[in-house]
Structure 1
Amino acid sequence: MLLSDVFDNTVRKIKTQTANVLTLANLGLGGFAIIVGIQGQLHLSLMLIFIAALADRFDGMAARKLQVESELGKQLDSMSDIISFGVAPALLLYQGILHLFGYPGAFFTILYIGCGAFRLARFNIAENNGYFTGLPITAAGCLLTLSYLAIPFIPAYSFIFIILSLSLLMISTFTLKKV
């Protein structure tokens, strides 16, 4: 085997795994956001969720640019998204304010995660003709995370409305053009 063949094989392997590495970075950042959020470091959790959103943005771009889109990558992306934009933002808001509502706060936290999982499952089995059906979980997760910053400024019950609204928007059937 020639050195050029070894080099070509190495480059091909790196190329095919670049998007998956970014997807796993998204997942790792989301997982870390959950851990630090449970430990009470809510501002760090918020920052990690937004960095995960950047990794999520770049993984799809990398897959398309390198022409390495795959069914495995699509599934891995969805599993990462439920962690980074489903569980992590829901727990951030729960730790930040929803815990004050007791079981109803826990219910709406879990409802949001369930709606996010439903939305991702529906996305994975649907024909995607340049449109999203319902609010993408990444957008919902970023909006929910951003709402955390409003805790000192708006009434606590507003967050029940915010998390319920985002949950329903994710499972709704309206369509949005992909950008």
Structure 2
Amino acid sequence: MKAYIPNFLTLLNVLSGCIATVFAVLNHLEWAALFVFIGIFFDFFDGLAARALHVQSEIGLQLDSLADVITSGLVPGVVMFQLLSMAERGGWNLGFIGHDNDLTVLPFFGFIITLGSAYRLAKFNVDENQVASFRGLPTPANALLILSLPMILLYHNNEILSSVILNQWFLVGLTILSAYLLNSNIELFALKFKNWSFKDNGIRYLFLIGSLVLLLTLRFLAIPCIIIAYILMSLIDAGKKTA
């Protein structure tokens, strides 16, 4: 019976991703972000449960990646589609955006994030070296980065931030950068604790404490800062190991 628990949690991730997709398509981006956060929560705990119960399996690995394609791949692609649509129309609009005769090509550019996520997950499944660290930005981290944008627009009410986020060239550049980071060879540390000692997990403790401080002080604006800090700390840590 316990062998089914991790897969059940993964299926809850799938369900969360499906609900988030519906909200994203309807342009209810706040609700889409909420269900992505819930899906990522299940994504974290399904692996934790599998290791704790000693029921890790090949089907669990495949199912986990399939779930991530939806929650952390499709949803951020739809959200970027909506943001690019808003940027073309010159403003922030949380109502349903109809795309009839005025549909353009540019918003579809956002699905490069979905393509990059799917390719990254396929590579991850056949790469046996990504255990203690990752190659490229994990899809959940990338999804949080993209989903933070509408949350910043909603809750920070800053004209400068809004003008930057709703600039179509910023969004196009971020889309390209996102796809690159997902599939880059940058080595990033994983938040997996084999023990609780600070000596072996110093960088993880510092990252988690710093992330908490940023979230308490900057709210949703903290998420891009945390992703940048994650990449920089990983590069510094990798540099120390090779020095």
Q: Which residue of 2 aligns with 1:61?
A: 48
Whole-angstrom distance in 1 between the partners of 2:62 and 2:69: 11
Residue by residue over 1:101-131, the C-alpha shift from the partner in whole angstroms, topping out at 9 and shown as x without a partner, is: 4312312x22111110110000000113412
SS of the residue corresponding to residue 55 of structure 2 reads coil
**Residue type matched to 1:98 in 2?**
L
Give, in angstroms, the shift of residue 34 of structure 1: 0.6
CA distance in 1, matches of 2:114, 2:70: 9
Alignment of 1:107-146 (within 5 A): 107=109, 109-127=110-128, 128-146=130-148
Deviations 1:13-43 (A, max 9, x none): 1x11111011000010001111122223221
- Structure 1: which 4+ aligned runs deviate by more than 6 Å? none
Higher RCO (Cα < 8 Å, 6 or more apart): 1
Answering whether residue 175 of structure 2 is matched by residue 173 of structure 1, we say no
Amino acid across the alignment from 1:44: W
**1:148 maps onto 2:150 in alignment:** yes
Extract unaligned runs of 5+ from structure 2.
Answer: 89-103, 154-160, 192-243
Deviation at 1:162, TM superposition (A): 1.9
**Correspondences of 1:10-29 after superposition (within 5 Å):** 13=1, 15-29=2-16
* Alignment coverage as a number of residue pairs: 164
Taking only the aligned residue pairs, the percentage that are identical comes to 30
Query: What displacement does 1:135 show?
Result: 0.5
The Cα shift of 1:70 comes to 0.6
| Separation (CA, whole Å) in 2 of partners of 1:129 and 1:89 | 25
Q: Distance in 2 between matches of 1:148 and 1:36?
A: 13
- Following the alignment from structure 2 to structure 1, what is the Cα–Cα distance between the partners of residues 171 and 190? 28
Q: CA deviation at 1:85?
A: 0.5
Aligned mates of 2:131, 2:32 — CA distance in 1? 34
Q: Which amino acid aligns with 1:106?
A: F
2:224 is aligned to none
Q: How far did 1:150 drift? A: 3.3
Aligned: 1:98 with 2:69: no
